[in-house]
Structure 1
């Protein structure tokens, strides 16, 4: 099994440990992509129109011989251009032609064993330096991939403290990359509460969250997750595996137990 060094919050080597078997899993980008798309599809809110929308009207056509289009018209209406048309999609004031259907299937299903294999494969990808570099992360100053740190980081509660830790561990370059990559989204999303897009930065996988999530959340692109809640989307944002990941010692040990028999 591959051995890795365990670093202190000061960036010094304090111990050495073996990585569990999960880090040697076969690389399966196809399964990882399926698992991520399944997680994203599960968050989509299904919606559709009322099947009777635009059809609750007494509008009737005048028929032929009136010199006007034979579209259904609202009875008794006093429209400037004549009786107001209704019901038909091609008329002003008519119903929508092809509304979204309530019965549309949005969820992308994936088998349990495939999803678990995808997570194992995504975890293994975080230990491959070539895959991490290919994803675009700045790891020139990172001492090793994957980076394992002492559990003391779980107790950090201040953003300025995490900034110093990231600098000593070589992760700050990737945080700066995420900060500089922030840009305005194209399209209608700008007016719907998601104006900016920020690249994903380092992921912190901890055995227990004692305040580190609050300390790290102000850094652009940085995310913190307890190892029990690890999923394919966090490890491979946008379906692209190889995210730069910082593991705590207890998280690595627990990973070996969680996926030992799966």
Structure 2
């Protein structure tokens, strides 16, 4: 269906179809209240403390119209996730802390080095090899492995813009698992006045704000998702797994930094300054569609930080927003549109196409094939008949 996106909840389930958020109003077949939200509207309302609009609006920043490129986001995310790895290696002496020497040939045993000495079961046992008990591993790991990956700066900026654009698409948020059925609109912008004088420095105040703007369902989803990890990770500092909740993006200059203390103890909720947006938070796991709660000051700063497709950014040198190669990539929808179909000529008839593989027939046995190759063959045949008669 042109202009729509299909998502499957399970392998064999029927699809849930959403209209494209950039063309029509997002629609949920399950009867949600998203009909009043549009990701492509020119302005966004600023929400107050009680969850109702304050009356103030702000134009949608140009970064939200960037191309959504999952391939670039996944590649950059993979590289960035590797940059926090800590080197590890086995001991250089592991498996070699014993005196062992091969017995050589002629003793009807393998030539692997064997522990010297006597008076114990250990004497005569094979040592050093990776196939031996208490031996070293094959190709012992070294700390000078290439742990970190250099990522092209332009690709990192492109991926960040794509992640921001995807955060304004309701179907992508829902496909990622966020509970956005109760929020008034996407993007969700909260008035920065609520953060004055460290008003959101306490967890209770921050949680109350999230619930008042409709993000409480997503917070509860993240809180209730804490499960014990399967596997050895339980022993290695990764005992629990948990879903991601809302990401609160703020402006340090206007909103202050006290709100970080208020949100940091809410399970699944993260904070990030608008001047240092992190792709690992905007697209966790390389998956687009993070639910973001913006402060009005941070939302207004996006145009200065990222610029647009014609004017460069004021903070990023020589950076212009990426633009689409074609304005409408749905070629099927274009070709079948009434504007193009009305200008096309009527079809001239059925197309005649030759078969790519035709069975070869012997012209000496098949007259039709012979006549196709040599139209004069019929004259030869008639002359031959006359001579015989």
When normalised by structure 1's length, the TM-score is 0.92
Does residue 166 (structure 1) correspond to residue 210 (structure 2)? The answer is yes
Shift, 1:77, TM fit = 5.3
Shift, 1:3, TM fit = 0.3
Structure with the larger RCO, 1 or 2 (CA within 8 Å, 6+ apart): 1
The aligned residue for residue 186 of structure 2 is 145
The aligned residue for residue 31 of structure 2 is none
2:260 equivalent among 195, 198, 213: 213
Asked if the contact 1:85/1:93 (under 8 Å) is kept, the reply is no
Q: Distance in 2 between matches of 1:54 and 1:38?
A: 34
Shift, 1:189, TM fit = 0.6
Q: Distance in 1 between matches of 2:99 and 2:203?
A: 64
Asked if the contact 1:202/1:222 (under 8 Å) is kept, the reply is yes
Shift, 1:55, TM fit = 4.3
Shift, 1:163, TM fit = 1.8
| Structure 1: tracts of 5 or more residues without a match | none
Q: Distance in 1 between matches of 2:202 and 2:122?
A: 68
Residues 1:191 and 1:56: Cα distance change in structure 2 (over 3 Å): closer
Task: Give the paired residue count.
Answer: 262
| Structure 2: tracts of 5 or more residues without a match | 1-40, 313-318, 320-389
Shift, 1:53, TM fit = 4.5
- Structure 1 stretch displaced more, 146-155 or 101-110: 101-110
Q: Distance in 2 between matches of 1:129 and 1:203?
A: 15
Q: Distance in 1 between matches of 2:155 and 2:122?
A: 62
Q: Distance in 2 between matches of 1:234 and 1:118?
A: 12
The aligned residue for residue 360 of structure 2 is none
The aligned residue for residue 225 of structure 1 is 272
When normalised by structure 2's length, the TM-score is 0.63
Secondary structure, in 3 states, of the residue corresponding to 1:233? helix
Q: Distance in 2 between matches of 1:6 and 1:68?
A: 82
The aligned residue for residue 239 of structure 1 is 286
Q: Distance in 2 between matches of 1:125 and 1:134?
A: 11
- Structure 1 stretch displaced more, 180-189 or 141-150: 180-189
The aligned residue for residue 4 of structure 1 is 44
Structure-to-structure mapping, 1:34-45, within 5 angstroms? 34-45=75-86
Structure-to-structure mapping, 1:14-29, within 5 angstroms? 14=54, 15-29=56-70
The aligned residue for residue 59 of structure 1 is 100
Secondary structure, in 3 states, of the residue corresponding to 2:272? strand
Q: Distance in 2 between matches of 1:140 and 1:107?
A: 40
- Structure 1 stretch displaced more, 219-228 or 149-158: 149-158
Does residue 33 (structure 1) correspond to residue 80 (structure 2)? The answer is no
